[in-house]
Amino acid sequence: MPLTADQDAEIAELRSNPQPTLRAVSPGMEARLYTAHPVLDHGFVRVVDYMGDDAAICQAARVSYGRGTKAVSNDEGLIRYLMRHWHSTPFEMCEVKLHVKLPVFVARQWIRHRTANVNEYSARYSILDREFYIPRAQDLAAQSTVNNQGRGEALTGEEAQRVLEYLKGDAARAYDHYEEMIGQEGQQGLARELARMNLPANIYTQWYWKVDLHNLFHFLRLRADAHAQYEIRVYADLICEMVKDWVPFAYKAFEDYRLGGATLSAGALDCIRRMVNGEEVTQETSGMSKGEWREFEGVLKA
C-alpha cells in the first residue's frame, strides 16, 4: 500500500489542524498539502511544505527596478517575459518540499538532478518494506532499435508473461534472502547495510526532496517530456499538476515556452527561413546530420 496506517493518521491530524499565518499562501497548494497522490503500483508524491507563489516571483523581479525604470504592471505578463527571456533568479524565490515514494532505479535517475536538497530513507538503519515495482503488461517493451536508452515495440503474449514472472519471482526470492540474512528480532543477523545489497533495483525507497521553482522547472522539462522513461515521467506529470495549482501564471508560461516550445539551432532556423521563402529543404541540403534532421522533422510535425 502507498501509505502506512501511521502515515495516514499523521496526515489526517495535520490536515485537521490548519494554522493562521501572515505569509503569502497559494490556495491551490494549500488544498494539496500533506495529501498523498498515488503513482505506479506502490508509489506516491505529497507536498510537505512550500514557500512563495506567483506574486513572490514578481516581487523578486521588481526589487531590481531602479527609479525611472518602466515597471510591468501585469503579473502574468511579467512572468511570461521572465520565462521567455530565460531569467532564472525570480523563480528561485519559490520552493517546495515533496515526500516521494519511488522505485530505487527511478530514484537513481532522479538524483542526477543535483540542484535539490534530499534526505532518503536509510536502509542501513531501517528495514525496507517488501514492496517492488512490477510494470503493467502494457508497459513492457523491447529495446528500441534507434534509441539506445529507450523502448521499442511492446512485448505481448507469452513473452510478456514470462518477463513478469521473472520480475515477480526474482524480487520475492531476493527479499526472502534479505529477511533471512538480517534475522528475526532478537537474533544477530547480517548488518543491514550489507544485507541491503542483495535487493533488486525495483524495490521502493522514500525521500524528502526540496527544490526551488527554477530547478524544478528544469527537472520537469526533461522528465515530463514524451521521450523520458515512463516510470519517472508519471511522477513528473503528477508534479506538473501540483505546480499548476501552486503557481498558475508561472506554470502556464513554462508550459508555453519550455514544455510546448522548442530550441532551434542556427542551422535549423536557417532551414525554416528557406522553407518560408518557398525552397524545398532536404536532409542532404540542410547541413544537418541524419539524427539532427530527424529531430528537426519531429519538431515541425509535432
Residues marked active site are found at 223
Q: HSE-up of 172 (CA within 13 Å, CB side)? A: 7
Gap between the Cα atoms of 11 and 241, Å rounded: 20
Q: HSE-up of 222 (CA within 13 Å, CB side)? A: 8
Gap between the Cα atoms of 293 and 239, Å rounded: 32
Phi, psi angles (nearest 5°) of residue 300: -70, -30
Gap between the Cα atoms of 273 and 279, Å rounded: 9
DSSP string, 184-231: STTS--S-HHHHGGGS-TTBEEEEEEEEEHHHHHHHHHHHSSTTS-HH
Nearest residue to 229 via CA among 135, 298, 156, 118: 135
Are 39 and 30 spatial neighbours (Cβ–Cβ below 8 Å)?
Answer: no
* Structure letter (DSSP) for residue 287: T
Indicate the Cα dihedral angle 143, 295, 251, 109, nearest 10°: 30
Look-up of cell digits 520480475: 167
* Structure letter (DSSP) for residue 197: G
Strand ranges (E), 21-150 = 36-39, 43-51, 95-103, 117-120, 141-143
Are 50 and 26 spatial neighbours (Cβ–Cβ below 8 Å)?
Answer: yes
- First-to-last CA distance in the chain? 38
- Please name every residue paired with 283 in a beta bridge, in sequence order, or none if there are none: none
